[in-house]
Amino acid sequence: MKHLLMTAALVCGLPVSGIAQDVTLKMGHAASSKHIFHEGMEIFAAKVDEKTEGRVKIEVYGDRQLGDDKELLEGIQIGLIDAALVSSATLPLVLGTAAFDALQLPFTVSSYEQMSDVLTSDLGDQLLATLEEKSIKGVGFVEAGQRHFLTSGDAVASTSDFAGLKTRIVPIPLHKATWEGIGVNPIGMAYGEVYSALETKTIDAVEINVSSVRAESLYDSAKNVTLTGHYFWPGVLMISDAAWQKIPEGDRAAVEAAGKEATAEAYALAASQEAETVAFLEENGVTISELSDLDVMKDKTKSVVETWSDKHPLIPEFVAAFGAGG
C-alpha cells in the first residue's frame, strides 16, 4: 500500500515527503531487562503497535544500553534519544520538575490500585503536562513496586535499628530529608553501583523494591528485607518533542491512549508480582520480616510531607487525592 501511495504521489506531482511514514522510536531505561520496568514498557509498545495499526513502533532497550536515568533525561531533552522510561524520583533533580515529588512522599499512598487510579485521572494528566516546558511529552507510568529496606547485615526489626546505617538513596533533597528523619546515614549513589557497593560493604543497606532486588541479583550479598512500603516507585513513560513531532498527528491520540492503558496494566502487574517475588527471594536465602513499630517510622516522616506540600501547587492535590494513605 505504501508503494502504491508513493507512486500515486509521483504521478500527481505531489511531494513524497507529504506521505505519512511509519515511525520507529527507540525507548531506553536504566534497569535490567529482567526488571518489571521492562515488562511495563513492552506492554506500552504492544499497545502503541495495536492502536496505530503498526504505523508507530516502540523498540525497548534495557540494561542501561541508552544510558542511566540522568543520561536518558539529558538526551531526550535535546532530541538525541527518542523515548525513555525514567524513575519519577530523578525528574525534580535533573529537570527541576518539582511536582513529581508528589509521587515519592512517604506513607501517602495505601495501595497499587489507589496509585493507578490517581495516575490515570485528570490529575495524572496534569502532572505529565508539566514536562512539556522541558520539550518532553509524558504519556504514562510504569510501576516498579513499593519500596522496602534491604540490609547486608542484621535485619532492621524496629525503627531504632535504622540509626547510622550507611544506606544508598537516590541523591535528591526529598529522599535525603526523608531518610535523615528516619535516622540512617544516607549515601547518594547511582543505581548501577548498588550491587558492588553491597558486595564490598561500602553501604550497609538500600531502600528499594523487591523487583529490583531480584532483577539486579542484590540478594547475592544482602539477605534481609524489612517490608516497610514507605513509598511507591513509578517510572514515567516519555517521548522527546522531536520524536513526538515525527508521529503522524492522527496517531498521537492513540499513543496517549496506549500510555493510559499501559499504566493501569502495569500497576496491576506490579501488584500481582509482589508476593511471587517475595517468595522467590525467600527461596534464595533472603529473610523477609516486618517492622515492629511502623507507626514510629511514619511519625518520623510526617514533617517531610508537610514541608514538601509547599514545593508545587500540584503536590497538595496529590496528597489529598491519595488521602494520606487512606
SS3 197: helix
SS3 letters across 102-158 = HHHCCCCCCCHHHHHHHHCCHHHHHHHHCCHHHCEEEEEEEECCCEEEEECCCCCCC
Residue 5 is predicted with a pLDDT of 38
Residue 15 is predicted with a pLDDT of 39
Residue 40 is predicted with a pLDDT of 97
Residue 21 is predicted with a pLDDT of 80
Mean pLDDT per segment of 10 residues, for the chain of length 326 residues? 37 43 95 95 98 98 95 95 97 95 96 97 98 97 97 97 97 96 96 95 97 95 97 98 97 98 97 95 98 98 96 97 70
Bridge partners, residue 60, by sequence: 27
| 22-98+110-144+233-273 and 147-232+276-322 have identical folds | yes
The residues, any chain, with a CB within 8 Å of residue 49's CB and separated by 6 or more, are 56, 57, 58
The superfamily in CATH containing domain 147-232+276-322 is Bacterial extracellular solute-binding protein, family 7 (3.40.190.170)
Residue 223, Cα to own-chain centre: how many angstroms?
Answer: 25
From 281, 238, 279, 235, select the one nearest 256 (Cα to Cα).
238
The residues, any chain, with a CB within 8 Å of residue 94's CB and separated by 6 or more, are 69, 70, 73, 74
Residue 11 is predicted with a pLDDT of 35
* Domain residue ranges in the chain: 22-98+110-144+233-273, 147-232+276-322
Residue 52, Cα to own-chain centre: how many angstroms?
Answer: 25
Ordered DSSP codes for 283-306 = HTT-EEEE-TTHHHHHHHHHHHHH
**Alpha carbons 191 and 233: distance in angstroms, whole number:** 13
SS3 22: coil
For the stretch 203-255, pLDDT in tens is 999 999 999 999 999 999 999 999 999 999 999 999 999 999 999 999 999 99
**Alpha carbons 291 and 98: distance in angstroms, whole number:** 31
Residue 7 is predicted with a pLDDT of 33
**Model confidence, pTM:** 0.89
SS3 248: coil
Evaluate whether the domain defined by 22-98+110-144+233-273 bears CATH number 3.40.190.170: yes
